Structure 1
């Protein structure tokens, strides 16, 4: 059937007004695409345990040591990865009960400082300058990127390594420049060229890292 155009929306969503056959074909295509994407991310996530399982355990134990010694978690990323950086920080600060909260700060979400540094100095230093001001030896610098090549993340990891911070990175593709820099101690690469699949899989990785860190702090690892 054809949807009546009593809202003025036909110009925005013409497929809704193209008749039953066309709408049915579009819905079938959307369903097929959704099933393919769900299968793709399920397969990718399933491969991460074998690829990164041992490294996640090592990283979790190192993070637990850092937190026990008074360290804090400082997270950063650009665009969608900045949202993930906030999600990581929130997970550590405000975990599900009865897990203990841990100190964490999401650097991209201080908008005043980020825009001041971008305007007055340059976007490449927005995270490095924050780490220089806030970071201490034994803190944790955790950066997320899909490409692995974001210059402001590379500058941030340089700064963090120079401060003696624990460095943790999440990247896609083949790890990009983050894999070559030598400043990321714990690097988790999602082997995909799809930004969507990379970010979905990174969500799984940092959720598992938090859970393992919590268990390490409880003495269960």
Structure 2
């Protein structure tokens, strides 16, 4: 049994250096944290600029098509796994209940109903948790927006196949080189963040879907203050 006043091992000090007031070590840790933070911040700024240069015009076209669907009574369905599930919920919230000025638009995250997700996973299979919901809820005039940092999530791919079959407008957000989403050949719009880092991809995707929301609002004639997103 460990004695409470026993000095920490080197392994423990290495894992949690900030807990132990070794001034030289602490300064080294803080310097490395500062360097890492600056490098990551610079990388995400570069990525966002790169995505804007590559996809700016395509984002406008996509937003216009989404606006056309919304104006005709269409609804937005979003989906993704893990961190992308959280982003899918944020996308739906941004469109349905925008913070500040903005027109509320019908949107639903397919990851939000845990009873449905677990029932489908348990009874049928995890690959169909989104596709089955689209089959039951979606119509040809609706929009399917899926997120995957790898572009290889089987249930996201299956959902897009079902969305294409239904005649929905399909919008995908991926990372690296697009993965299987890029190979699918079914998506109306695919926006790829060219990075292998899951963290940087998700940060850039956050910017992408907020810009997409703002452009959709403008396409619908909503007057927004400058720099809303």
TM-score, normalisation: structure 1: 0.93
Shift of 1:184: 1.1
Secondary structure at the aligned position of 1:108 is classed as coil
Secondary structure at the aligned position of 2:41 is classed as helix
Distance 2:75 2:66 in 1: 9
Secondary structure at the aligned position of 1:75 is classed as strand
1:44 aligns with 2:44: no
Q: Which deviations, in whole Å up to 9, do the C-alpha atoms of 1:92-111 show, x marking residues without a partner?
A: 01113321100000001110
1:202 aligns with 2:205: yes
Which among 71, 75, 78 is matched to residue 75 of structure 1?
78
Shift of 1:219: 7.3
| Equivalent in the alignment of 2:221 | 218
| Equivalent in the alignment of 1:22 | 25
Distance 1:17 1:26 in 2: 12
1:95 aligns with 2:87: no
| Equivalent in the alignment of 2:148 | 145
Shift of 1:48: 1.2
Q: 1:93 to 1:186 in 2, by over 3 A?
A: same
Unmatched runs of 5 consecutive residues or more in structure 2: 224-229
TM-score, normalisation: structure 2: 0.90
Find runs of 4+ consecutive structure 1 residues off by over 4 angstroms: 9-12
How is 1:167-186 mapped onto 2 (pairs within 5 angstroms)? 167-186=170-189
Contact 1:16 1:23 in 2 (8 A): no
CA RMSD, aligned part only? 1.9
Secondary structure at the aligned position of 1:218 is classed as coil
> How many residue pairs get matched?
215
Which among 129, 133, 136 is matched to residue 130 of structure 1?
133
Secondary structure at the aligned position of 2:129 is classed as helix
Distance 2:90 2:129 in 1: 19
Distance 1:43 1:132 in 2: 39
